Amino acid sequence: MPQAPPDAGPDAPSTPPAPPVLEVENLSIRYGDVSALRNVSLSVHEHEIFGIIGPANSGKTSFLKTLNRMDRFESHMRVEGHIRFLGRDVRAWRNVYALRQHIGVVFPLPVGLPLSIYDNVALSPRLRGVTDRRELDVIVERCLTRAALWDEVKDRLDSLGSLLSGGQQQRLTIARALSQDPALLLLDEFSIAVDPVTTMRIEDVLKELRKEMTIIMVTNLVQQARRLADRTAFFLTGDCVEIGRTDDLFEGKVKDPRTYDYILGRFG
């Protein structure tokens, strides 16, 4: 298991630090007059699972949206600050489509596209221009296997992805995100519509995936953050209250008492 890098600081170890996959500086998000996020700065390192917890309306989804520049589709969403992905400002990427291909996204509610299971997973490679059927076959099988769905659907790849059960669709969504071969995977409350057993299976999948990619996981289950995340950030009504090693936070070593209150469920 890769070592969770410590919070960068003056007393960071002298081993050459891997450059962060994602650096966010003074990020603020507004919807018209409503401020959704204020002055968030954080960095996410390679092969890290970075958890984000916080009650509803704390700006977690809005944060994720800005990372792959989905804010472009919301006409009244204003983003300020800097986001560097793989060392480059996300606004300086040659085009947003190339950027988005490097960032996989899993939404809270499973979205099986109204295509066959096969086509769901093959969509992203096809958008990139892969047309060779054998190559696609390989990608589809590999991604479905890694998303722990292959055994359940291998005999009916031609049936509609949108007709799978909710838990299966969520794994299909993950397979689809994996087919992008992303450097960064964004998960937004992925277990909200999924039963506990499937949730555990997906969590196991994520533990495997971290060897190959970096994961940012927004979750409404604090225990899920505890199980998976190396470091966790606590967002509260648009402020990033605290970022720390997950173990520290859950042991009560917090800078802001509100974080621990939230973790213990003592929150109003």
Partner 1 sequence: MFKATELNLRNEQREKRWRLLFLLMALLLILPVLIILILLVYRGGPVISWSFLFEFPRNGMTEGGIFPALLGTIFLVVVALVFSVPLGVAAAVYLSEYAPDNWLTRTINLAIINLAGVPSIVHALFGVGAFVLFFEFGTSILAASLTLGIMTLPVVIVATRESLQAVPHAFREACWALGATRWQTIRRIVLPNAVSGILTGIILEVSRTAGETAPIMFTGAAFFVPFLPESVYDQTMALSLHLYTISTQVTGVPEDLPFGVALVLIGIVLSMNALSIAFRVYLRNKKKW
Ligand X SMILES: Nc1ncnc2c1ncn2[C@@H]1O[C@H](COP(=O)(O)OP(=O)(O)OP(=O)(O)O)[C@@H](O)[C@H]1O
Instruction: Tell me the closest approach of the beta carbon of residue 73 to partner 1, in angstroms.
Output: 7
The residues in 57-116 that bind Mg ion, with binding defined as CB under 5 A, are 61
How far, in Å, are 57, 92, 100, 179 from residue 126 at the CA level? 36, 25, 15, 10
From Mg ion, ligand X, partner 1, none, which one binds at residue 176 (CB under 5 to 8 Å depending on kind)?
partner 1
> Cα angle at 107 between 199 and 189, to 5 degrees?
50
119, two tokens: 């086509």
Q: Which residues bind partner 1 (CB under 8 A)?
A: 68, 70, 73, 75, 97-101, 103-105, 107, 109, 111-115, 123-124, 127-128, 160, 162-163, 173, 176, 180
Q: For residue 52, what are the β-bridge partners? A: 218, 233
Q: Which of 1, 56, 92, 197 binds ligand X (CB under 6 A)?
A: 56
Nearest distance in Å: CB 3, ligand X: 29
**Dihedral, CA atoms, 60, 20, 147, 105, nearest 10 degrees?**
40
User: Where does residue 173 rank: exposed (0-12), middle (13-18), buried (19+ CB within 10 A)?
Assistant: buried
Task: State the binding partner of 62 from partner 1, ligand X, Mg ion, none, CB within 5 to 8 A by kind.
Answer: ligand X
Enumerate residues 57-76 that contact ligand X by CB under 6 A: 57-62, 74
Restricted to residues 65-124, the positions that interact with ligand X (CB under 6 A) are 74
Total binding residues toward Mg ion, as defined by CB under 5 A: 1
Helix (H) or strand (E) holding 166: helix 166-178
C-beta of 169: minimal distance to ligand X in Å? 19
| Phi/psi at 101 (5° precision) | -65, -20
